[in-house]
């Protein structure tokens, strides 16, 4: 039985007795106070009016009073100065200790004497530096392409750097995520790409079992790895690399490069057969070079993603940029979704999302938010968060869409017939073609009716050289830098607006002008620069949604001619 707390209720006899004692105590205190008497403070009688020299005495008393007040003020100021001195000394000591710690860390690290921005793993400069390390160290470079938009995943700057580097470097194309594309479309892309570089069809495992996942409790359900842990094309790629390694008579290093979310780390996990590299839905999970040994002769190098150049179209920046939609500006996300919807078949988008007809992308997001219950206060559709979800679906492995290869083969200017022959030398292309055919046959592909037809924007320009990187101040360029680091960057470097960027904005609607505001205290601006900045801002605002214009008017390609 539980013990109850004792009750605080008293009997009447006891309560009356306590009250009586209290009254007696108060009476006794009043009586003693009356005996002592109440001593009032004596009032200063002042100087009698009949006293001689009264005015002089009053003046002296006033002066004495003023001197006392001045003395008190001086003492107070002296105390404040002493406190300030102590604070400054403590601040200097703390700054010195912090500086010593920072210097100790810099000297112990490899990158001694470099700025904090260069030391930041999330910065674009760090990504480019790590990517160049992988390209220089690799004997074979695997450029990973998303099968849904292979041309949009190709980077001409990267391909040119590998081809012109010399040293008998080879470049292979890996067509990943072929399970999200119709079978005929995969075969068309393989036939198109193999005429330029050796191409391997691949389906990587999105989830791999590791030690942490094997520990399953009774309460939590067991994870189903039957579909997500399957991978195809790994034997073909391994065999191709091993045969090439034997022809070189040495251990080869294979670098894996590509834009964000194409599946670089997942391919390495599939080749190894277990989870050795971190993977995730967020963009830019890999921030530094990782080395994985497949066997004694083959070493894989996982690299950070290629940085998309800001001069690319809005579509390319939305799909290939290295930022996370969750931490980006809502205006940029809306602009990206606008570009994606305008490059798709409207009828197939309506069928996929099971929504009625819409006039523009903003109405599409509003209808979809209402359908999924994403509402703000007062039942207003939450368009910003809905746009982030849609963009995550399109960059992840959920959406099944496909793009058609170009009608005629036109290799880039840096890819001559001689270079194509050099890239194909040392590989058994007939065997590779047969293995690709077997991989495509073994997979289950979606039908064209259940996929969305997508119009590619062509090759995506990338920045691979460290000195050409422009660290943007917007959410599309920053990678989680703190406010203190940003202030230090602004103090170290000053950027002025360029007229070339302004001209590019006027020439092409899809091109974004990249400008950096200089610090006002250090650099004076002319009135023309401020006008150019205002014009650039107005132009960037005009790229957002327009309620009056329908989606078909914005797009140069009319899908209604193909889909009746």
pLDDT, tens digit (0-9, with 9 covering 90-100), for 343-392? 888 888 898 889 998 888 899 999 999 998 989 888 899 998 898 888 88
In a domain, 429, yes or no: yes
The predicted model gives 526-536 an average pLDDT of: 44
Same domain, 296 and 321: no
Same domain, 179 and 324: no
The predicted model gives 265-293 an average pLDDT of: 81
Assess contact for 375 and 382: CB atoms under 8 A: yes
In a domain, 518, yes or no: no
CATH number for 249: 3.40.50.300
Question: What is the enclosing helix (H) or strand (E) of 63?
Answer: helix 54-108
What ranges in 229-360 are assigned the alpha helix state H? 234-248, 264-272, 314-320, 330-342, 346-353
Count H helices, E strands: the chain? 20, 10
Entry field: residues in the chain: 564
Specify the pLDDT at position 75.
94
pTM beyond cutoff 0.85? no
How many domains is the chain partitioned into structurally? 2
- Residue 104: φ, ψ to 5°: -65, -40
Same domain, 319 and 199: no
In the Cβ-directed half-sphere of 96, how many Cα atoms lie within 13 Å? Answer: 6
In a domain, 252, yes or no: yes
The predicted model gives 280-291 an average pLDDT of: 75
Same domain, 257 and 353: no
The pLDDT > 70 percentage for the chain reads 72
Same domain, 276 and 183: yes
Number of neighbours of residue 170 by Cβ within 10 angstroms: 24
In a domain, 132, yes or no: yes
* 203 bridge partner residues: 232
Return d(Cα 395, Cα 390) in angstroms, integer.
9
User: In the predicted model, is pLDDT for residue 46 greater than 90?
Assistant: no
Same domain, 231 and 301: yes
Return d(Cα 333, Cα 325) in angstroms, integer.
7
Specify the pLDDT at position 31.
92
Same domain, 270 and 419: yes
pLDDT, tens digit (0-9, with 9 covering 90-100), for 172-228? 999 998 988 899 999 999 999 988 899 999 888 766 555 444 333 333 444 444 445
In a domain, 492, yes or no: no
Q: Which of 446, 476, 505 is the last residue of a domain?
A: 446
The predicted model gives 124-140 an average pLDDT of: 85
* Between residues 144 and 468, the one the model is more confident about: 144
Return d(Cα 362, Cα 349) in angstroms, integer.
14
CA angle 553, 557, 562 (to 5 degrees): 115
Assess contact for 226 and 485: CB atoms under 8 A: no
From the list 179, 173, 176, 178, the residue with the least C-alpha distance to 192 is: 173
- Residue 510: φ, ψ to 5°: -85, -15
Same domain, 326 and 285: no
Same domain, 144 and 195: yes
The predicted model gives 223-244 an average pLDDT of: 72
Return d(Cα 284, Cα 322) in angstroms, integer.
6
In a domain, 482, yes or no: no
Same domain, 249 and 139: yes
CATH number for 330: 1.10.1580.10
Same domain, 258 and 354: no
Q: Which two tokens stand for residue 183?
A: 């079978």
In a domain, 188, yes or no: yes
Return d(Cα 301, Cα 31) in angstroms, integer.
97
Specify the pLDDT at position 525.
41
Same domain, 414 and 434: yes
Return d(Cα 180, Cα 248) in angstroms, integer.
36
pLDDT, tens digit (0-9, with 9 covering 90-100), for 467-500? 666 654 433 334 334 444 444 444 444 433 434 4
Specify the pLDDT at position 12.
95
Q: Which domain holds residue 236?
A: 119-208+226-310+405-446
Q: Which two tokens stand for residue 47?
A: 């100087």
Q: Indicate the DSSP class of residue 201.
A: E
In a domain, 278, yes or no: yes
Q: Which of 417, 446, 475 is the last residue of a domain?
A: 446
Specify the pLDDT at position 322.
63
pLDDT, tens digit (0-9, with 9 covering 90-100), for 96-131? 888 888 877 766 654 444 444 444 556 777 888 888
- Burial letters for 314-331: b for 16+ Cβ neighbours within 10 Å, e otherwise? bbbbbbbbbbbbeebeeb
């Amino acid at each position: 039985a539980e013990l109850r707390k004792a009750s605080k209720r008293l009997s009447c006899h006891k309560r009356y007795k306590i009250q009586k004692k209290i009254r007696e105590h108060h009476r006794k205190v009043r009586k003693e106070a009356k005996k002592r008497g109440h001593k009032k403070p004596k009032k200063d009688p002042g100087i009698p009016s009949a006293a001689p020299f009264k005015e002089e005495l009053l003046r002296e008393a006033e002066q004495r009073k003023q001197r006392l007040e001045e003395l008190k003020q001086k003492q107070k100021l002296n105390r404040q100065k002493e406190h300030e001195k102590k604070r400054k000394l403590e601040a200097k000591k703390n700054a010195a200790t912090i500086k010593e710690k920072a210097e100790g860390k810099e000297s112990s690290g490899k990158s001694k004497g470099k700025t904090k921005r260069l030391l930041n793993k999330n910065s674009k400069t760090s990504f480019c530096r790590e990517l160049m390390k992988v390209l220089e160290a690799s004997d074979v470079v695997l450029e990973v392409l998303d099968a849904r938009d292979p041309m949009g995943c190709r980077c001409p700057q990267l391909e040119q750097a590998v081809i012109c580097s010399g040293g008998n470097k080879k470049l292979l194309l890996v067509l990943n995520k072929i399970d999200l594309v119709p079978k005929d479309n995969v075969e068309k892309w393989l036939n198109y790409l193999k005429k330029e570089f050796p191409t391997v069809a691949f389906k990587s495992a999105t989830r791999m079992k590791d030690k942490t996942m094997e520990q399953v409790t009774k309460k939590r359900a067991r994870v189903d790895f039957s579909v997500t842990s399957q991978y195809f094309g790994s034997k073909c790629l391994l065999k191709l690399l091993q045969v090439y390694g034997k022809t070189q008579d040495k251990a080869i290093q294979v670098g894996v490069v590509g834009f964000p979310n194409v599946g670089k780390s997942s391919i390495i996990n599939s080749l190894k057969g277990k989870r050795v590299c971190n993977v995730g839905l967020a963009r830019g999970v890999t921030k530094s070079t990782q080395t994985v040994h497949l066997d004694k002769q083959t070493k894989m190098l996982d690299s950070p993603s290629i940085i998309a150049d800001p001069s690319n179209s809005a579509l390319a920046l939305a799909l290939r940029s290295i930022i996370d939609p969750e931490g980006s500006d809502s205006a940029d996300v809306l602009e990206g979704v606008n570009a994606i919807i305008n490059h798709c078949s409207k009828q197939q988008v309506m069928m996929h999302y099971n929504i009625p007809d819409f006039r523009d992308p903003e109405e599409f997001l509003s209808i979809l938010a209402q359908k999924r219950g994403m509402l703000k206060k007062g039942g207003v559709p939450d368009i910003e968060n809905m746009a982030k979800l849609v963009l995550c679906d399109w960059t992840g492995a959920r959406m099944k869409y496909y793009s058609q290869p170009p009608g005629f083969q036109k290799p880039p200017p840096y890819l001559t017939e001689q270079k194509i022959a050099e890239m194909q030398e040392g590989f058994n292309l007939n065997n590779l073609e047969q293995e690709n055919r077997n991989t495509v046959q073994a997979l289950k592909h979606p039908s064209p009716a259940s996929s969305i037809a997508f119009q590619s924007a062509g090759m995506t320009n990338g920045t691979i050289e460290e000195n050409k990187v422009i660290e943007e101040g917007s959410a599309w360029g920053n990678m989680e830098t703190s406010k203190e680091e940003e202030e230090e960057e602004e103090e170290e470097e000053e950027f002025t607006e360029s007229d070339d960027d302004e001209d590019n904005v006027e020439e092409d609607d899809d091109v974004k002008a990249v400008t950096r505001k200089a610090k006002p205290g250090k650099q004076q601006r002319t009135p023309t620069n401020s006008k150019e900045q205002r014009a650039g801002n107005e132009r960037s605002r005009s790229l957002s949604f327009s309620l009056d214009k329908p989606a078909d008017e914005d797009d140069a390609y009319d899908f209604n001619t193909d889909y009746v």
